[in-house]
């Protein structure tokens, strides 16, 4: 599945779906704004059981667009969202590997 962006114009919240959750999914939500170095509020939905990024939620999407446009002037919004997804996936993968290493040494 490719990333699918939906913007709720009434609330100015963007939902980016990356993949569907597996039946045995243990879904967690965490803020990834600091991880991405952005002031905008961005949360990631991920499957802790399978280590899969399910999607992102961006609050105040208009402010987010202004922020990333200024920060990444050379990129189009679609490419920026792809970069955000890749960054969050990599971070979640590293976190799950560290947890697995800790469990093996315990």
Please check whether residue 56 is in contact with residue 18, taking contact to mean a CB–CB distance below 8 angstroms: yes
Helices (H), ranges, the chain: 33-36, 61-71, 77-105
The neighbouring-strand residues paired with 56 are 16, 44
Phi, psi of 92 (to 5 degrees): -65, -40
**Domain locations in the chain?**
4-105
Please check whether residue 23 is in contact with residue 40, taking contact to mean a CB–CB distance below 8 angstroms: no
Give the global pTM. 0.68
- Tell me the pLDDT of the chain (106 aa) as tens digits: 578 999 999 999 999 999 998 888 899 999 999 988 889 999 999 998 888 999 999 999 999 999 988 877 656 777 778 888 888 888 887 766 555 444 444 4
* Closest to 60 in 3D by CA, of 46, 77, 39: 39
């Amino acid at each position: 599945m490719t990333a699918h962006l939906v913007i709720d114009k009434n609330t100015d919240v963007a939902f980016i779906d990356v993949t569907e959750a597996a039946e045995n999914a243990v879904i967690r939500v965490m803020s990834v704004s600091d991880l991405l170095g952005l002031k905008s509020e961005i949360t990631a939905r991920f499957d802790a059981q399978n280590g899969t990024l399910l999607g992102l939620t961006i609050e105040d999407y208009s402010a987010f667009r202004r922020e990333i446009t200024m920060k990444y002037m050379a990129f189009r919004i679609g490419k920026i969202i792809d970069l955000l997804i890749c960054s969050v996936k990599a971070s979640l993968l590293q976190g799950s590997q560290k947890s697995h290493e800790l469990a093996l040494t315990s």
